[in-house]
Every structure is written in structure tokens, then in C-alpha cells.
Amino acid sequence: MITYHAHYNFDTHNSWPLLLYFQIQSVVDFGYAVCDITTSLSVLVAGTELPDPVSAYLLDKLSNVEYRLASGVSEKLQIGALVGAFTVARAMLTPGK
């Protein structure tokens, strides 16, 4: 499980992009595997108060990435899939889109 600095107090509804930033920064700093990232992101998304369709979409995409990683698909391709999933989720949260 990837952890975050204890001194941050996040408003989970409005700051999940910031939480994602810290997730990615942990990968850069400590060299986590993409499978570890998807597991931690799944816990993060499940614990964040997102609208149900957005949460379901992200959890579905994260589980697909984990499945493909277990099947031997390139980690670089799966990182792209993660970025794409969160880009679509951001668009789902944007009013008027």
C-alpha cells in the first residue's frame, strides 16, 4: 500500500486530483510497480466521495488494468490506460460535458 504524508488534510471531494498527484509522486520517489499503483488507486477511489457513475467507471477501468497486467501486457500501455481513465473521469465530473 502506498502511503501519503500524514500532515496533509484533504477534502476528498474537491482534492482527488491532488491525491492522485501524491500517488504518482510516490511512484517517482520510490519506484512502485504499476500493479501496486492500481491497487492503491482502487482503495483511494473506493474511499473517496465521488458520484456513483464516476466511481464505478474508475473501479472498472482499474480492475481492467490489473487484469491486463496479470496477463502480461506492457506496463507502459497500462499507465496510458490509467491516465486515460482519470481523464475521462475528470470530464464526467465537469458540469455541462
45 within some domain: yes
What is the average per-residue pLDDT within 41-59? 91
First to last CA, the chain: 34
pLDDT in tens, 6-22: 444 444 455 666 667 77
The answer to whether position 14 is within a domain reads no
Domain that holds residue 36: 32-93
More confident residue, 79 or 28: 79
pLDDT in tens, 55-74: 999 999 999 999 999 999 98
Asked whether residue 44 is assigned to any structural domain, the reply reads yes
Residue 24 in any domain: the answer is no
Residue 43 resides in a domain: yes
Q: What pLDDT sits at residue 60?
A: 97
State the chain's mean pLDDT as an integer.
Answer: 80
* Total structural domains within the chain: 1
User: Is 19 among the domain residues?
Assistant: no
Q: Over the range 41-70, which residues count as b (16 or more CB within 10 Å of their CB) and which as e?
A: bbebbeebebeeebeebbbebbeebbebbe
CA distance 40 to 26: 11
